[in-house]
Every structure is written in C-alpha cells, then in structure tokens.
C-alpha cells in the first residue's frame, strides 16, 4: 500500500499543535520543521514520533515548506498547517485516493474556515480550495512571499471532503498575523511595482467584494467581523507600503 507523510512547519504553535498532530498520528511519517520556536513545540512533535528539523524562521514561508516537502520519504505528502485538522472522513478519502492506481499527481480539497467558532460559508471563505496532497517528487513550491503556490508536474484532481481550519487562536494571534501579513504583502506590492492608488483602493474593493458581492453579510455579525478584519489587514498593508516607498526614496 502506498505511504503518506504529513509535512508541517511551525513557529511557537505549542498551544494548538497537539490537537493538530492527534488528527494525523495514523500517518506513515510526520515531518516537522520547527522555525525557531521558544515554546515546547519540538517536544510535542517528538511525542508523536515526528521527524524533527530546526530551521530559521523565514518570513517567506515557502522556503521551509519546500524543505519539509523534500525531507518526506513517503509516496505521497500532505502539506498541513498547525491550525488545520484532518477528520475521519478526509482521512479515509485520502487513503482511498492514494491507493487507487491512476496518473493523478496532486489533489486539491475544500477548506472549512472557522472564525470565532463559526464556519463561514460565504464571503469567499468557502470552499477555499487548497492544493495539499502531492505525489512525491511531483510538486514544488513557487517563490511567492505570501500564500505560497504549489506547481504540480502532471494531472491534478479534487477531493470531496473538507480540510478543517481555525485561522486565529485569540486576539493576540490576530494582531500578530496582521503584523506578519501586512509586512510581507506590502513587500510583494513593492516588488510588483503596484501603484499607490491601487494599494489604497484595494482594502475597500476587497470589503465590497467579500461582504456584498460574495454574500458575506449572510454569515451575520461574524461575517461582518471577518470582512472588517480583512479590510484592516489590507489598510495597514497600504500604510506600510507607503512608508516603505518613502523610506526607499529617501535613501
């Protein structure tokens, strides 16, 4: 029977890591890349017999994800984040697919995003397809600064069952991710030579698209909260973009 590895990178995710690893302890191999954690993430991973590597905490996360992918020894590799979960239905579908003789080298699957305990069905938050299941040596990460992309050599297909995702642990985590994403997205805008006009319009167009056009309002108060959070990330990004451009011009 074909084997499967789960590849996980993490930085200070001890508070949620056990719950994540519990859902994949059935795997043939867990590859865990720790990115300079100061908590007990490594010891938690070791409790699940993970193959542990320690790496620099790169803001361009595709670097360490590619490292994890390269270190996996199974026939198939599933790229998993610490805030994601594999339920029994998805587990069974994964095992069925990798055991079926075919020429598929990669699978995308829908992701259920839970914000503040609620699954958001609208506002562009579902099905939120993610390409995660890869035949060994048939996929590679592209060098993107944020929301990395995997390029598959050959054919891809879709799984039916959902990947479970809990994007934020608490208010502190929200603020930390605002800081992280606004920094790397603003740098992406600079590298792409985006105009100031586009960058400052983007938060408003994103809110209009997700909350109105993609029916985010149907998800009630939490749908509004998440739409406003997305707005805030992009507005902070615009401010940081402006600051970086001005600092660059002053050098």
Task: Name the least confident of 9-18, 156-165, 167-176.
Answer: 167-176
- 215-246 residue pLDDT tens: 999 999 999 999 999 999 999 999 999 999 99
Stretch 132-152: mean pLDDT, rounded? Answer: 89
CA distance 20 to 85: 5
Asked if residue 49 and residue 31 are part of one domain, the reply reads: yes
Three-class secondary structure of residue 113 per DSSP: strand
Asked if residue 97 and residue 44 are part of one domain, the reply reads: yes
What confidence score (pLDDT) does residue 145 get?
Answer: 64
Asked if residue 120 and residue 181 are part of one domain, the reply reads: no
Domain end (from 97, 131, 165): 165
Asked if residue 130 and residue 15 are part of one domain, the reply reads: yes
- 173-186 residue pLDDT tens: 999 999 999 999 99
Asked if residue 176 and residue 93 are part of one domain, the reply reads: no
Task: Determine the structural domain holding residue 232 and report its residue range.
Answer: 171-250
Asked if residue 61 and residue 77 are part of one domain, the reply reads: yes
Domain total in the chain: 2
At residue 249, does pLDDT exceed 90? no
Domain end (from 165, 183, 217): 165
Asked if residue 236 and residue 181 are part of one domain, the reply reads: yes
Asked if residue 208 and residue 182 are part of one domain, the reply reads: yes
Asked if residue 37 and residue 157 are part of one domain, the reply reads: yes
Asked if residue 143 and residue 19 are part of one domain, the reply reads: yes
How confident is the prediction for the chain on average, in pLDDT?
96
Q: How confident is the model at residue 146 (pLDDT cuts 50, 70, 90)?
A: low
What percent of the chain has a predicted confidence (pLDDT) above 70?
98
What percent of the chain has a predicted confidence (pLDDT) above 90?
89
Please name the residue ranges forming H helices in the chain: 14-22, 41-47, 62-71, 88-99, 171-191, 196-207, 220-250
Domain end (from 130, 165, 200): 165
Q: Which CATH number fits the domain that encloses residue 65? A: 3.90.550.10
What confidence score (pLDDT) does residue 60 get?
Answer: 84
- What global pTM score does this model have? 0.93
What confidence score (pLDDT) does residue 144 get?
Answer: 72
Instruction: Give me the DSSP letters along 154-218.
Output: SEEEE-SSPEEE---SSHHHHHHHHHHHHHHHHHHHHHTT--HHHHHHHHHHHHIIIIIIT-GGG
Asked if residue 161 and residue 120 are part of one domain, the reply reads: yes
Asked if residue 136 and residue 221 are part of one domain, the reply reads: no
Q: Are 136 and 31 in contact (CB under 8 A)?
A: no
Task: Name the least confident of 21-35, 56-70, 119-133.
Answer: 56-70
Q: How confident is the model at residue 10 (pLDDT cuts 50, 70, 90)?
A: very high
């Amino acid at each position: 029977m074909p084997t499967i590895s789960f590849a996980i990178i993490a930085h200070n995710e001890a508070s949620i890591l056990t719950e994540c690893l519990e859902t994949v302890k059935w795997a043939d191999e867990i590859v865990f890349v720790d990115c300079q954690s100061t908590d007990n993430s490594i010891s938690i991973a070791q409790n699940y017999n993970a193959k542990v590597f320690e790496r620099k905490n790169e803001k361009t996360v595709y670097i360490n994800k590619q490292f994890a992918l390269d270190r996996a020894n199974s026939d198939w590799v599933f790229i998993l984040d610490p805030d994601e979960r594999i339920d029994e239905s998805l587990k069974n579908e994964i095992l069925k697919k990798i055991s079926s003789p075919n020429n598929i080298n990669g699978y995308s699957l829908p992701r259920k995003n839970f914000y503040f305990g609620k699954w958001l069905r609208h506002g562009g938050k579902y099905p939120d397809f993610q390409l995660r299941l890869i035949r060994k040596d048939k996929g590679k990460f592209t060098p993107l600064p944020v929301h990395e992309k995997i390029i598959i050599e050959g054919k891809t297909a879709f799984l039916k069952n959902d990947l479970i995702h809990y994007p934020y642990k608490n208010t502190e985590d929200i603020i930390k991710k605002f800081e992280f994403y606004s920094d790397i997205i603003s740098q992406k805008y600079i590298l792409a030579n985006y105009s100031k006009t586009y960058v400052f319009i983007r938060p408003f167009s994103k809110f209009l698209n997700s909350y109105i056009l993609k029916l985010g309002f149907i998800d009630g108060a939490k749908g509004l909260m998440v739409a406003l959070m997305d707005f805030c990330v992009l507005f902070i990004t615009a401010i940081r973009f402006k600051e970086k451009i001005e600092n660059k011009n002053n050098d």
